[in-house]
Every structure is written in C-alpha cells, then in structure tokens.
Amino acid sequence: MSHPQFTPRPLNPIYAGLPTTIFEVMSGLARTHEAVNLGQGFPDDPGPEDVRRKAAEAVVDGWNQYPPMMGLPELRHAAAAHYRHWQGLELDPEAEIMVTSGATEALAGALFSLIEPGDEVVLFQPLYDAYLPLVQRAGGIPRLVRLEPPSWAMTPEKLDQVFSERTKLVLFNNPQNPTGVVYDRAQMQLLADYCVRFNAYAVCDEVWEHVVFDGVTFEPLMALPGMRERTVKISSAGKIFGMTGWKVGLVFAAPHLMKVLSKAHQFLTFTTPPNLQAAVAYGLGKPDDYFTTMRAGLQRSRDRLVAGLKELGFEVLPSRGTYFLSIDLAAQGNAREPNAFDDEAFCLDLVKTRKVAAIPVSAFYAEDAVKSVVRFCFAKHDATIDRALAHLADLARKS
C-alpha cells in the first residue's frame, strides 16, 4: 500500500524557535574541551549522605507505586513544620502545600493555571531561562523590567513602566539567579505594593531561599502584608539539599489558588517519585546546624573565588546568595562602553582556550541585554576553584 509522502507541518513556534539552554550548551562544551565547569549550577559535593541513604532505603524497602497526587502526607507535614520554623509561615499541609517534580514543573503549572491568553505578565531581566517561554506558551504578554549591575535594583520608575490594570501576574525570583542578589525588605515591599495596587498575582521562585550568606535573613514574598492570598511560593529540594538532579519541588499557596494549581499538576506529571519525597521529608527536619553549615561552606567557597578573581584583576559583583557570582568586564577600568562587550564570545573563548566554562549573563535577557557580565558557579571544591583560577591567570588584563 502506498502512503502519501510526509510533509512536515508547522510545530508550535515558541518551542520550534527556542535554542538549547545555555546551561546544556556550556556543560557540553565543558565536556568537549575538558574544561573546569563553573557554568551550569551544581555542586561538586554529592549532598548529605543521610538524606541519600533515606532515598536508597525507600527505593529498596519502600512503596514504589503512585503516591498521592498532592504529595506524601509526611512530606507536606514536614514542609509545614520546616517553613514555620525557618520563615514563620503558617501553611495548612492539607490545603496549601503540593509536591511537584521540581520547581520547573511548579513554575509551568502556576503559569498555566493563573494566566489567561492576553493577560500581561511582569518579568524581570535577567530572567531564569524557563520563564519567558512558559509565560508565552500560556498566552501571557510579557512586560519586561530591565535590571542592571551593580545593584540590579527595582525602582518605582521601572515598575511604573510595566504595571497597569492589565497586569495579571508578576513572576519574581529571590534570591536571584544569575545575579546572586537577595532582595531586601524595602525592595520586596516595593514589589508587593505594586502587586496589591494593581491586584496582581505573584509567582515567587524562591528555590535559593536556603542559600544565603553574610547573615542575610531570607523573607518570603508571601509574608508581606496583602500578599498571602495572591502569592504562589515555589521551592526546590534540589537546591535545599544541593542535589540538583533531585526533581522535587514544593508549591505553597492559599486554598483558592491551590485548587486550580493542583489541576495543572494533575496533568503535567500527576506525581513525583515517592522515595525521593520520603527522603526530602526526612531532610527538611534536619537540625538547624545542617543548614547553617551548608551556608557557611558555600560562603567560604564564594569568598575563595571572589578573592582569586579580584587578585587576577577582575571586577566582582556582590553575591549574597545562590551558587553564583558574576564579574563585570565593563567595570574593569576598560575604556569601552558596557555594550561594546560580548559576554557570549568571551565565554566561548574562555571554554576553548582557557578551559573554564562560565555563563554569559546576556543569555538571561530577551531584549536589550547587558553584555558585559559573566556568571561563575562557586559551589565547588577548593581544588576545582583553584584550578579554574590558575587557568584564568593574566586574562583580566587582556580582556
């Protein structure tokens, strides 16, 4: 029997037009060129052994069939206790907490369930790369705020330009990847005031909430006056325990929102591996000491990379959280204009000739990119950091 010839029909243009993520690209180049990988954000450390053993036990001895759609009750209860203790939040484990397969699923589900086609969505550049395609796929009209180094601060003037009666939702990330900024109370209050004034929902990506330094206290957006019933808070066990391959996300929202968020989850993944959930439930109950030691270790690594880069002559921007810090090539005393730099070309050259992978921050802009800032991941052993620094010797003076 003969079939008519297959002629490809157009696919969804949002996905068809997307490049491969910069993280995947740079990790691939790091493998090809046998470079030290300070690009994609993942620690050298394998993660807490007791938590890994819990997961292993749960795989071997535990229940490996579908867990409840909203997540294991023991995890939802552990999360309620954890966030009461660490962030002063009162969350009902039965009605306000849901487990997803990573923060990425939580983001997709939140955007798909809150946005109606044509709604305006406020986003902040630099933006984590998943945000924009998800907003667009949901039919949202992005309204982009451009943040700039060195402070990456929001201002009323910037917010005035994008907020209006058409604003349905704000998507915000704090602590912020890639800048390492932890927004303070005044900045959060400014954003909350606009959300309340324009009656907008907020989806707050707080996956880096535990990774903060210099004694900074992290405050969830949800805790600000007027925000409790309009905010979806998103967390990630992958970041809380430094095991980025563990795709276990947590979503927190008031019951009227959670009812709809759970419908998106039901048809995106429905559930998340129960063994990982059991281990995360155990991990969330670990004593404070575990979390403070984790922070102190990462802060030491940050300081080591900062000191090394400064000694080499790089201008390092402040980082108070996440696994990342950035250098600003335009702040190095070069005579060139900031937009005369090409961070992407710089990073391509770096991985090939210096054998160090980093991330060009322009990849986090959809338009009008800052092109002089380069991100490095410092969640690495001292030896890895030192090797990268040795490879970078004398570069600052040449770039």
Residues that bind ligand GLN (CB under 6 A): 21, 23, 40-41, 177
Q: Yes or no: say if 101 and 249 are a contact pair by the CB < 8 Å rule.
A: yes
- Smallest gap from residue 39 Cβ to ligand GLN (A): 7
Q: Which does 135 bind (CB under 5 to 8 A by kind): ligand PMP, ligand GLN, none?
A: none
**Given the complex with ligand PMP, which of 113 and 244 has the nearer CB atom?**
244
**Given the complex with ligand GLN, which of 107 and 195 has the nearer CB atom?**
107
In b/e form, how buried is each residue of 169-197, taking b as 16+ CB within 10 angstroms?
bbbbbbbbbbbbbbbeeebbbbbbebbee
Q: Which stretch binds ligand PMP (CB under 6 A): 29-37, 79-87, 135-143, 243-251?
A: 243-251
Q: Which does 301 bind (CB under 5 to 8 A by kind): ligand PMP, ligand GLN, none?
A: none
- Smallest gap from residue 238 Cβ to ligand GLN (A): 9
One residue of 142, 180, 220, 238 binding ligand PMP per CB under 6 A: 238
* Rounded Cα gap, residues 388 and 376, in angstroms: 10
Q: Is 358 in the site for ligand PMP (CB under 6 A)?
A: no
**Given the complex with ligand GLN, which of 130 and 348 has the nearer CB atom?**
130
Question: How, if at all, do strands 141-146 and 167-173 pair?
Answer: unpaired
Q: What residues contact residue 179 under an 8 Å CB cut-off, 6+ apart?
A: 126, 147, 149, 152, 317, 319, 324, 326, 361
Closest CA to 355 of 379, 388, 325: 388
Alpha helices, DSSP H, located in the chain? 13-16, 22-32, 49-61, 73-87, 102-114, 131-137, 156-162, 185-197, 237-240, 255-268, 274-284, 288-311, 343-349, 382-392
- Smallest gap from residue 118 Cβ to ligand PMP (A): 26
* Rounded Cα gap, residues 292 and 18, in angstroms: 39
Q: Which does 238 bind (CB under 5 to 8 A by kind): ligand PMP, ligand GLN, none?
A: ligand PMP
The token pair at 263 is: 């419908």
**Given the complex with ligand PMP, which of 103 and 306 has the nearer CB atom?**
103
Q: Yes or no: say if 168 and 120 are a contact pair by the CB < 8 Å rule.
A: yes
**Given the complex with ligand GLN, which of 258 and 325 has the nearer CB atom?**
325
| Of residues 277-316, those binding ligand PMP (CB under 6 A) | none
CA atoms within 13 A on the CB side of 379: 25
Quickly list DSSP for 126-151.
S--TTHHHHHHHTT-EEEEEE--TTT
One residue of 83, 112, 124, 128 binding ligand PMP per CB under 6 A: 128
Q: Is 126 in the site for ligand PMP (CB under 6 A)?
A: no
Site string for ligand PMP, 191-220 (x = CB under 6 A): --------------x-x-------------
Residues binding ligand PMP: number (CB under 6 A): 14
Q: Output DSSP code: residue 328.
A: E
Q: Which does 21 bind (CB under 5 to 8 A by kind): ligand PMP, ligand GLN, none?
A: ligand GLN
The token pair at 65 is: 């069939």
Question: How, if at all, do strands 97-100 and 249-252 pair?
Answer: antiparallel
How far, in Å, are 16, 314, 349, 392 from residue 395 at the CA level? 38, 9, 11, 6
Q: Which does 249 bind (CB under 5 to 8 A by kind): ligand GLN, ligand PMP, none?
A: ligand PMP
Q: Which does 78 bind (CB under 5 to 8 A by kind): ligand PMP, ligand GLN, none?
A: none
Q: Is 41 in the site for ligand PMP (CB under 6 A)?
A: yes
**Given the complex with ligand GLN, which of 38 and 78 has the nearer CB atom?**
38
Q: Is 120 in the site for ligand PMP (CB under 6 A)?
A: no
**Given the complex with ligand PMP, which of 230 and 247 has the nearer CB atom?**
247
How far, in Å, are 3, 8, 88, 102, 195 from residue 243 at the CA level? 49, 40, 25, 11, 33
Helix 255-268 and helix 102-114, axial crossing angle in degrees, nearest 10: 120
* Rounded Cα gap, residues 140 and 150, in angstroms: 30
Q: Is 177 in the site for ligand PMP (CB under 6 A)?
A: yes
- Smallest gap from residue 177 Cβ to ligand GLN (A): 5
Q: Is 174 in the site for ligand PMP (CB under 6 A)?
A: no
Contact footprint for ligand PMP (CB under 6 A): 41, 102-104, 128, 173, 177, 205, 207, 236, 238, 244, 247, 249
